[in-house]
């Protein structure tokens, strides 16, 4: 398998070799040809140190298959999807990004039409890759790249079209030294809002690996919001498809609550979200369908169930009327529009929903141990009145409103523990006990 939860990810040096990237460029181009999709291919990247090299080698494979390549440079992932909607001459697009995984890893995501590729598309690309890999040496194969930075322009204009009237809020933007640094400061200048930007330097040596599901990821933003007396703080991940918020008191607002708020005010009757998101979404009066973790699963379920909104716990919102892939920009605009229309602060808006406490932690773990650990988790006696869901990993409900999820990552050699409860004390105990159990089980298999 080339693909994990979302895209191809792995060690930047060991997996993304010159030959591998060349063959992946060829594979995606052949995939488009097999679908009868004609036109050019656009490539963007995040600011990881390895991204430029990977982009270059993928582009060489595309050009070998006689397609033009538009080099979009540093551009948010959603901008790389939206260019397919804004420019009909672009047949497909590629984003070089490792998202939130460690900096010595990287990844590749693919887009066609108004969406990211689905799992069936991934299988087609994998099959093509198996057929062609190493058949043509990448050595001495030339490249012709046309540098036209249009994706960001299209994307920013789309976001502006979504905006409404806003009060003179004071906003702090934490750009993670990532791709949204190329979009958001200019957008807020046009909107005339008073903004302060932090971590806004797009450079490989300053790139921040940010897991938007953890509060530690936005400590700088929390402190800055309180220091300057801002109304709201907004933080983005490195490739710009996830967004989380900080309210005026410096409180971290997770992607679970961001998604639940948008769903509550959305016209959609059905909301799609993975198994690991908070149960707060069940309290907004919409039908909720749970999926495996990963945006391709959310997108696929949105299509199947005629849903116009889905989201993940990491702050990745997916709005069908915009595009069927994660987009921090339109997710942010929707929250700002809701605040403006209802003349309410972010703190008061969040407090209209019931309070749940979340625990999220991870530990490095060899992938070969995943099945063994899950078997042990399933066989453990978790007490009376428990029920188990195995949509993705193993989720154990230990009460009406308390659960713990053991889930191996498909993007990196990590095992994750998620827990939730209405009591902060209970969720801490449940999460820490479960993490201790996971670590001891892993250690048993490794000794």
> Structural domains in the chain?
8-150 (3.40.120.10), 163-350 (3.40.120.10), 357-446 (3.30.310.50)
pLDDT digits (tens, 9 = 90+) for 91-149: 999 999 998 888 899 999 999 999 999 999 999 999 999 999 999 998 866 666 677 77
Q: What distances in angstroms separate CA 34 from CA 28, 135, 183, one per listed residue?
A: 10, 19, 34
CA angle 138, 144, 145 (to 5 degrees): 110
User: For residue 228, what pLDDT band results from cuts at 50, 70 and 90?
Assistant: very high
Characterize the bridge pairing of strands 309-311 and 317-319.
antiparallel
pLDDT digits (tens, 9 = 90+) for 260-270: 999 999 999 99
**Separation of CA 144 from chain center:** 31
Contact predicate 258/346, CB 8 Å: no
- Three-state SS for 244-294 is EEECCCCCEECHHHHHHHHHHHCCCCEEEEECCCCHHHHHCCCEEEEECCC
- Residue 223, token pair as written in the block: 């402190």
pTM confidence score? 0.94
CA-based R_g, the chain, Å: 22
Collapsing DSSP states into helix, strand and coil, what is residue 375?
Answer: helix
pLDDT digits (tens, 9 = 90+) for 382-399: 876 788 999 999 999 998
- 146-159 in b/e form (b: 16+ CB < 10 A) is eeeebbbebbbebb
Per the DSSP assignment, residues forming a β-bridge with 10 are 106
> Percentage of the chain surpassing pLDDT 90?
88
Nearest one of 261, 195, 266 to 228, comparing CA atoms? 195
């Amino acid at each position: 398998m080339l693909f994990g939860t979302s895209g191809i990810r792995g060690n930047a040096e060991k997996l993304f070799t010159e030959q591998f990237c060349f063959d992946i460029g060829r594979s995606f181009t052949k995939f488009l040809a097999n679908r009868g999709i004609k036109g050019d291919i656009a490539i963007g990247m995040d600011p990881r140190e390895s991204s430029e090299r990977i982009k270059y080698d993928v582009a060489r494979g595309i050009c070998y298959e006689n397609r033009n390549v538009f080099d979009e440079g540093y551009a948010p992932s959603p901008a790389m999807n939206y260019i397919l909607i804004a420019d009909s001459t672009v047949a497909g697009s590629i984003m070089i990004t490792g998202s939130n995984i460690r900096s010595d890893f990287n990844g590749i995501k693919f887009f066609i039409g108004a969406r990211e590729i689905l799992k069936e598309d991934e299988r087609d690309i994998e099959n093509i890759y198996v057929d062609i890999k190493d058949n043509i040496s990448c050595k001495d194969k030339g490249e012709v790249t046309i540098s036209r930075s249009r994706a960001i322009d299209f994307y920013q204009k789309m976001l502006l079209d979504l905006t409404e009237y806003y009060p003179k809020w004071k906003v702090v933007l934490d750009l993670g030294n990532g791709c949204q640094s190329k979009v958001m400061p200019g957008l807020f200048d046009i909107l005339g809002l008073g903004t302060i930007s932090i971590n806004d330097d797009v450079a490989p040596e300053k790139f921040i690996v940010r897991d938007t599901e953890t509060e530690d990821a936005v400590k700088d933003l929390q402190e800055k919001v309180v220091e300057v007396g801002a109304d709201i703080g907004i933080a983005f991940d490195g490739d710009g498809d996830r967004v989380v918020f900080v309210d005026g008191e410096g409180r971290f607002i997770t992607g679970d609550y961001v998604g639940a708020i948008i769903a509550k005010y959305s016209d959609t009757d059905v909301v799609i979200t993975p198994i690991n998101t908070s149960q707060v979404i069940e309290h907004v009066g919409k039908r909720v369908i749970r999926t495996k973790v990963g945006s391709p699963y959310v997108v696929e379920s949105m299509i199947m169930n005629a849903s116009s909104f889905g989201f993940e716990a990491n702050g990745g919102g997916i709005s069908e009327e915009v595009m069927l892939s994660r987009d921090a920009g339109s997710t942010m605009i929707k929250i700002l529009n809701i605040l403006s229309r209802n003349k309410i602060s972010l703190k008061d808006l969040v407090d209209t929903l019931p309070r749940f406490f979340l625990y999220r932690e991870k530990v490095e773990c060899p992938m070969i141990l995943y099945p063994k650990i899950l078997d042990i988790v399933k066989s453990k006696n978790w007490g009376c009145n428990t029920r188990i869901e195995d949509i993705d990993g193993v989720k154990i409900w230990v009460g009406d409103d308390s659960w713990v999820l053991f889930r191996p990552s498909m993007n990196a050699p990590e095992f994750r523990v998620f827990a939730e409860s209405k009591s902060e004390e209970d969720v801490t105990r449940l999460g820490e006990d479960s993490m201790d159990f996971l670590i001891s089980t892993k250690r048993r298999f490794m000794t």
